[in-house]
């Protein structure tokens, strides 16, 4: 069966490579977008078409785009006469990418590991702010996930049980650091639990009770989201989100503070897998080691940036953090027991 994939970014590319590997009977013939503005004209060796230019209305379409925009995409598809489609929500995407990475022998899934008899003490914080859009649905979160008000030092006080402006913190830097002010706060102020996690108000790691039991049973150091796929490599990600001068400032900071990682960066940047969103669940020791490495690099990057970090608020440190997370965990993949899972998106 011939199909189109709607979308032309990382989710769509990941869906394409997974379908090609797992379901060769489905022939992906191209990608669909509403407009070519800020989209490539080819992806995975296939053309990217505007909806208004496509004549084959009966071909099935896999919608591989974030869930919060899928309703609008469906309206556009129906407007242009497309009525055969499947929406790939975050659960379907997680299962698809889990099967794909299992098939190619990369990025092992926590769900494939044996479960033990009990779970360690786990505490995950969901970064939230007063600027977040209201969710369309209500969700019952497990008791080990706690909302954390980020940017609390410079925003309206919210009635969350935790805030990132207490204790030792960098809450005032939230405009640049995004969810990383929550990571810093966790690192400096939370010590009693065996594992700590950082989630977003719209994204969580797909972890359930049986998965928590797998942490202890398999002595897992870190759980990361399955990486997103980029073409031709992950430099594509930074070229969309980070100014070149800021990128060079980060590379300079890395060279000054951790030259062995800077040497490895060229290899990491030339491969297609990116640990996106700055989300993780980690043993306290693994979290401590990562943060001791990460935050001095980001602080030095702020000093080298033009304008300096204290003179701006444009999220650039958060985006750089995703690239540094990828660098750190790919470089340390043989020293850490890393498991992976999908992302659940809240809408």
Same-domain pairing of 132 and 25? no
Same-domain pairing of 61 and 118? no
The mean per-residue pLDDT over the stretch 124-146 comes to 84
Can you read off the two tokens belonging to residue 336? 């850490």
End-of-domain residue from the set 43, 72, 88: 88
pLDDT for the residue numbered 137 = 73
Report yes or no on 176 lying in a domain: yes
What is the extent of the structural domain holding 80?
A: 2-88
The mean per-residue pLDDT over the stretch 225-246 comes to 92
Whether 281 and 236 have beta carbons less than 8 Å apart is answered as no
d(CA 73, CA 76): 5
Q: Which of 282, 249, 274 is nearest to 183 (CA)?
A: 282
Domain count, the chain: 2
Report yes or no on 99 lying in a domain: no
Same-domain pairing of 171 and 258? yes
Residue 171's pLDDT band (boundaries 50, 70, 90)? very high
Same-domain pairing of 206 and 301? yes
Same-domain pairing of 70 and 207? no
Same-domain pairing of 124 and 194? yes
Report yes or no on 73 lying in a domain: yes
Report yes or no on 107 lying in a domain: no
pLDDT for the residue numbered 161 = 87
Residue 248's pLDDT band (boundaries 50, 70, 90)? very high
Report yes or no on 309 lying in a domain: yes
The answer, yes or no, to whether the previous bond of 261 is cis (omega within 30 of 0) is no
Report yes or no on 104 lying in a domain: no
Residue 159's pLDDT band (boundaries 50, 70, 90)? confident
Report the CATH number at residue 217: 3.90.550
Same-domain pairing of 81 and 148? no
Residue with tokens 């190619």: 104
Same-domain pairing of 118 and 82? no
Residue 216's pLDDT band (boundaries 50, 70, 90)? very high
pLDDT for the residue numbered 59 = 95
Same-domain pairing of 11 and 152? no
pLDDT for the residue numbered 281 = 98
State the chain's mean pLDDT as an integer.
94
pLDDT for the residue numbered 196 = 98
Is pTM, for the whole model, over 0.75?
yes
pLDDT exceeds cutoff 90 at 138: no
Q: Tens digit of pLDDT for each residue in 6-54?
A: 999 999 999 999 999 999 999 999 999 999 999 999 999 999 999 999 9
Whether 323 and 330 have beta carbons less than 8 Å apart is answered as no
pLDDT for the residue numbered 241 = 87
Name, in order, each residue with C-beta under 8 angstroms of 321's C-beta and a sequence gap of 6 or more. 177, 178, 180, 278, 294, 298
Same-domain pairing of 192 and 131? yes
Same-domain pairing of 82 and 219? no
Q: Tens digit of pLDDT for each residue in 237-246?
A: 888 889 999 9
The mean per-residue pLDDT over the stretch 178-183 comes to 97
pLDDT exceeds cutoff 90 at 160: no
Same-domain pairing of 236 and 310? yes
Report the CATH number at residue 57: 3.40.50.20
């Amino acid at each position: 069966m011939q199909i189109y994939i709607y979308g032309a970014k990382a989710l769509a590319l990941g869906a394409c490579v997974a379908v090609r590997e797992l379901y060769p009977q489905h022939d992906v013939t191209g990608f669909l977008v509403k407009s070519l503005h800020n989209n490539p004209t080819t992806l995975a060796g296939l053309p990217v078409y505007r909806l208004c230019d496509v004549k084959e209305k009966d071909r099935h379409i896999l919608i591989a785009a974030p869930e919060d925009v899928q309703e609008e995409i469906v309206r556009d598809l129906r407007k242009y006469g497309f009525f055969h489609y499947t929406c790939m929500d975050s659960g379907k995407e997680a299962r698809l990418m889990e099967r794909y990475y299992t098939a190619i022998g990369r990025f092992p899934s926590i769900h494939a590991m044996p479960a033990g008899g009990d779970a360690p003490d786990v505490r995950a914080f969901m970064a939230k702010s007063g600027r977040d859009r209201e969710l369309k649905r209500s969700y019952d979160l497990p008791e080990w996930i706690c909302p954390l008000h980020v940017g609390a030092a410079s925003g309206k006080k919210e009635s969350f049980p935790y805030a990132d402006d207490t204790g030792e913190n960098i809450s005032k830097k939230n405009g640049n650091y995004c969810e990383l002010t929550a990571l810093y706060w966790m690192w400096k102020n939370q010590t009693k639990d065996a594992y700590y996690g950082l989630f977003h108000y719209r994204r969580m790691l797909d972890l359930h009770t049986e998965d928590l039991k797998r942490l202890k049973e398999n002595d897992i150091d870190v759980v990361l989201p399955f990486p997103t796929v980029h073409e031709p490599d992950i430099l594509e990600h930074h070229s969309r989100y980070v100014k070149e001068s800021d990128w060079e400032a980060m590379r300079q900071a890395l060279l000054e503070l951790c030259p062995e990682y800077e040497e490895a960066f060229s290899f990491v940047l030339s491969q297609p897998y990116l640990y996106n969103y700055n989300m993780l669940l980690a043993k306290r020791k693994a979290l401590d080691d990562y943060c001791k490495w990460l935050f001095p690099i980001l602080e030095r990057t702020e000093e080298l940036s033009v304008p300096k970090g204290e003179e701006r608020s444009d999220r650039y440190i958060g985006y750089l953090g995703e690239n540094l997370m990828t660098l750190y965990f790919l470089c340390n993949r043989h020293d850490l027991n890393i498991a992976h899972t999908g992302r659940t998106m809240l809408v």
